Amino acid sequence: MMAGTFEGFGQKAIPFLKALDFHQSREWFQENRDLYERELYEPFGDLVETLSQRFAAAGLGLRGDRKRSLFRINRDVRFAKDKRPYNSHLSAILSPDGSKMEQGVFFVYIGLDRCFAGVAWWQPGPELLQAMRKAIATKPAEFRGLIGKLKKAGLDLDTEGCMKRAPRGFEHVTEADLAQAVRNRHFAVRQTIDPAAIHTPALVDELVDFTVRARPLLDWGRAIQGKVSAG
């Protein structure tokens, strides 16, 4: 085995998150930091770097590493009413440049409440979002082709956070599927991960398979993004 190859999260990964969520104490976390690093943090770094290699081999244009890809387990409570210091999940992003600032990303979330992966154009900036909505309205066959490819791969666009009314300038889009699509604030597909599956190396194959099936969404967004950047 090469160094850093993902072999599965520790059996105590989820129990650790459950205990952390119960205690929500810096003292408790420091006392159990070794457990956190061994069962969760280090395996997550291995997962990100193993996926980065596999995504490169598959030509997916997504990469990451253990230093830049993982989100902190500490919550930012500066402006939050909820002052609990720790999340009950750990998550990471792999992106075109390896940073968390890019669009068209792979996301993985291992949590007490659920485990899932996603491929997303998540809350893209106004210019890119406008261009995506325009592409839906002016090239409906192309967009429906994307939806068809995703459905064939067992995936559906996420409708979470969808606007209740048509955005300004798109009131003329009346066909139900297109009207729904232009109201999206982001374009994403997700796959639920069985919590029992996080403890084996086979999780990598599952996540690579999901991302390959979600590639049409990446390709669609990148084509639009390329025109926005060129313009």
Break the chain into its structural domains and give their ranges. 13-230
Residues of the chain with pLDDT under 70: 1-3, 231
pLDDT recorded at residue 231: 65
**Cα dist from 89 to 41, 86, 174, 199, 224, whole Å:** 11, 9, 40, 16, 33
Within 12-154, residue ranges assigned H as helices are 13-23, 26-31, 33-36, 42-57, 126-138, 140-152
Query: What distance in Å separates the CA atoms of residue 124 and residue 103, rounded to the nearest whole number?
Result: 7
Class of domain 13-230: alpha beta
| Alpha carbon distance 71, 90 (integer Å) | 7
Distances in Å between the alpha carbon of 49 and those of 52, 69, 99, 111?
5, 9, 13, 20
Residue 89 CA neighbour count, 13 Å, CB half: 14
Question: How many other β-carbons are positioned within 10 Å of the β-carbon of residue 111?
Answer: 16
pLDDT at residue 129, rounded to an integer: 97
First to last CA, the chain: 46
Residues 168, 173, 175, 177, CA torsion sign? negative
